[in-house]
Structure 1
Amino acid sequence: MAPPKRRKPDRARRLAFDVLRAVNADGAYANLALASLLTSRGLTGRDAAFATELVAGTCRRQGTYDEVIAAAAGRPLSSFQPAVLDLLRLGAHQVLSMRVPVPAAVAAMVDLAAATVGERVTGVTNAVLRRVAAHDLDAWLEQLGAGREPLDVLALQTSHPRWVVDAFADALPAAELPNALEADNDSPEVTLVVRPGLAEVAELVDAGAHAGFLSPYAARWSGPPAGLPAVREGRVGVQDEGSQLVAWGLTRADAPAGPWLDLCAGPGGKTALLAGLAALVGEPLVAVEPSAHRAELVAAGVRAYPADQRPSVLQADGTRPSWRPGSFARVLADVPCTGLGALRRRPESRWRRTAADVEQLHPLQTALLGSALDAAAPGGLVGYVTCSPHRRETVDVVEEVLAGRDGVVVVPAAEVLPELAGAASGDYLQLWPHRHGTDAMFAAYLRRT
C-alpha cells in the first residue's frame, strides 16, 4: 500500500523543530539557535513571530508538556524517540497554549513528523496529539496536580522544576512566589544599553525607543536590535536593565583613584558599560576572561571605543591572578552561575540545570570573590554579582568569604544605589522580574578597609 501523500511542512514549524532539536540534542541556547536560523532561512514577519513563539513557549512549558504527553500516551517519555518527543512538545504547545485549531495543528505536526523522522512515526504523532487535545491546559493541570503537595502543584502550573521553586520560596514571601514564577514565563522586552561617551539614550528615543525605567543608560526597543545603526556600529548594545544596574553600582560609591578590573568579563556586556564609565573619569579598565571565544566577544563588544579608551582584554584565570594584590580601585566579580535569574530569556535552562550544579559552582564563586577582594586596593570597592536569586550563589557566598577574612566591610546597597532602595535585601541588592521588570540580578558591594 502506497504511503499517503503528505504536504510539505511549513517553514515556521520546520524551523522551530530544528531549533528544539539543537537545544535538546546538542545543548544549544534557544535564543541563539533561533536567531541564527531565522537569519539563514530568511523568515520574517508573521512566520518569524510564529516560529519564535513556538520555540520560546515550548521551551518554557516543556516540563509541564512532558507530563501531559506521558499521561495522554499512557507510556513513559523514555519510550519515545527523542525527535518524536520534540514533535509532540511542539504540538502540545499549539493545542494547549496557542490559538491554533486542533485539526490544523495535528495535521501540520503529522506532516512534519513524516518529513523529519519518517512515515512510521506519523501514527503515534497523530494519536498522542489528539489525546493531548482532548482536554484544555487547565483540565490537564487539575488532573495531574490531584493529590500533590502545594509546591509540587505550583511547579507544575508554572513549569519549573521543584528545586527551583524551593529556591525561590527561600528568597521570597509566600504570597509573591506564584507571581515570581509566572514572570519567568513572560517574554521580556528588548533592552538596549548605550555605551557612555559614544551614544545617548535620547538618540534611541528619537529612533522610536522608550527610555528605560531604572538605568540611565537603558532604552526599551521593539523589533530586531540590528535594525538600529547605533547597534551595528557598536555604540549601543543589548543588555538587560538589571545587568546595567549592578555594573553601574560599582561606580556609585567612593573609591580611590586607580585602574578598574572586570574579573569575569565574558561575554562582555558589563565590560562595555564599565569601559565608558571608566573613560569618563580617566581610569583604565582591565577585563579578564579564561575562555578564548568569550574573550573575543569582550573585545568585539568594546570595538567602538577609541583605542586609548578600550580595556585591556586578558585571557586568564581570575582565581590565579597575574597581577599584584591591591592593584585595583574597583573590581567587578560577575561570577559564573546557574542563570536562574534569567529564565525568561533562556527558558530551556530551567530543565537543563540541576540542584547539583549550584553546589558544583559554589567553590568557584567563593574563589573568585576571594580573588576580587585580594585584587582591591585599600579603600577599594568590590562588586560581587550573580544572575541568580539562589541563596547558595548569593548570600552564602558572600558570608562564607567574609567569615574567613578581616579588613572588609559591606557597603549597603541602598547607599550605593539609593534609587533602588526598595530592591535592597538587607545590605544586598536583589532584583526580580515581577517586581522590577529586570532579570533577578544579585549584587553585594564590599570595601577593603
Structure 2
Amino acid sequence: MEETKPRGKPRGMRRDRDCRACKTRGIKCDLNRPRCQPCVASELPCGGYPQRVVWANKTSPTSVAATTKPKRRKPDTRNVTGRTPAARPAVVAVIADRTAGTHVGPVHEEKQSTTGPDHYSLIKRLSSFCRHIEALAGSSGARRQLSEATMTRLVSRINDLVQARMGTAPMQATVSGTAGPLDYIAALMDLSEALETANPVAFVAIAAFAFFEVCEGAFGEWQRHLYGARSLLDLHCRTTGELEVLARDVTGLSEMVSHLLWFDVMGAIIRGTTGLIFEDWHRETLNAGGFFDIVGCPASTFHVFTNVAVGGVDADPIGSCLMVMDSLLQLEGCDTDVARTADAYRCAAAIAVLARLEDAETRLPPPGMETAMTKAVDRLCHVMEMMPVSSRYYLHLAVAVFLAGMRVTRREQCDIVRRYWQNCRAAEFPRYPDAEMRCEEHWRAIGLL
C-alpha cells in the first residue's frame, strides 16, 4: 500500500482513538489520558496515543504521519504501516514523550513502550534477507542454489509469513491479510522439499520458524528447528573456516546462526538440562558480528551459561562457584541500560550455577551459598524494576527474569517478574505466552500465592 503525498493544508493534530496497548490487545480504550483504565487495571504500560495530522482537502488521505519538514524523497513503501516508534517523526515523538512523562523508572511507568526499534531486530533482518535472496535469484548471475524453483517459492513464502507476523503484509497476500495455519503448512512443505536437496538457503526458513517457536511456543522448548539447522550445517561445513565460506554464499547466515546458538544455550538453561545441539566451534563464531552487543550479554557471562549447559557444574563444582564469585564481583551498577543489562545477565548466570548445586530433595543451595543466591535474585529484581521497557535490551532478558522468578522469596519480587511477562505479551510482537503461568505455578507450590 503506497503512501500518497498529502494535498492542501494541515487542519490540526489528532490522537488515535485507542492507545497502543489497547489496540495491540484488541480491546476498547476509554481515552483516559495519559493512562487509560484498561491498562491501569491490567498493570500494563499504556504506550500513549499516536498523533496524526488531519488535512483540510477531502480528496487527500484523512491522515498521514506528522513531519517536521516536507521531504521530496520517494517514500519507502516496503514497510509503511509497520514503522516503529524510532522511525516516528520528531514532532510526534516529542508529543508522545510529554504525554507519558520523562521519568524512567520501574517497568510499569507509562513512558515505556515495548515497541522499541530493536525488538523486531531478528524478524526484520529475516525479511531483509528474504528480499535480498529474491533479488539475487532474479539476476543473471544467480547461483544454482538461488535459482531453484523450490527455493524461490520457499523464500517468498517465508517473507510473506514474516511480513504478516509484523503486520506489514500486502492485502493480497492472504484473504484475511494475516498468515493462517495453511500458510505455515505450505511453507513447512516447501522447507521439507528444500532440505531434501540440502540447499543451504533453506537456513533462512529454519531461522524464521525457530524465531516463531521461541516467541510463541512453550518457554525454553526451542530444540525442534535447532536440530534441523545443525543437520543442514553439518552437510556443508565442519570447521569455522568452512562456515565462513558458506556465510559468503548465503545472505545473513552468520547472524542467523548466532541467534540459534543463543537459543540453544538459553533453552538448556531454562529446561535445566545438560547437553547442547551445537558444538564449541560453532560458538567460536558467535560474536563475529557483534552479537553480544545486540543482546547485551558480556561474552564472559555467556561462557558461564555455556559451562552450565554442557555439565560443567557437575564436573567442577568448585570452579563453577568461583565463576559465580567472579560474576557477582563484576556487578557495575544501574546507571545505564548497558550496565543494567550486563548486571542482570551476571546475576542470572550466578543463579544458574547455584541452581545446579542445589540439593535434589531440599532444593536449597549448599551451606554458605544461600546468601549468594539471595543477593543475585535481589539484585536482578532491582535491575528489572529500574529497566525501562523501551530499552533495546528489555525483551532479551527473558531467561534472566525466568531464573529469578523461580527463586524469588518475596511477593514484591513476584510482582516485578509478573509485570515483565505482561509487558512481553503486550509488545507489538507478543512473546512468551506461558512463562508467567509457569512462574505462578511455582509460587503457589512454595506458598507465595
Q: TM-score under structure 2 normalisation?
A: 0.32
From the two aligned structures, give the one with the greater strand fraction: 1
Q: TM-score under structure 1 normalisation?
A: 0.32
Ranked by relative contact order (alpha carbons within 8 Å, sequence separation 6 or more), the top structure is 2
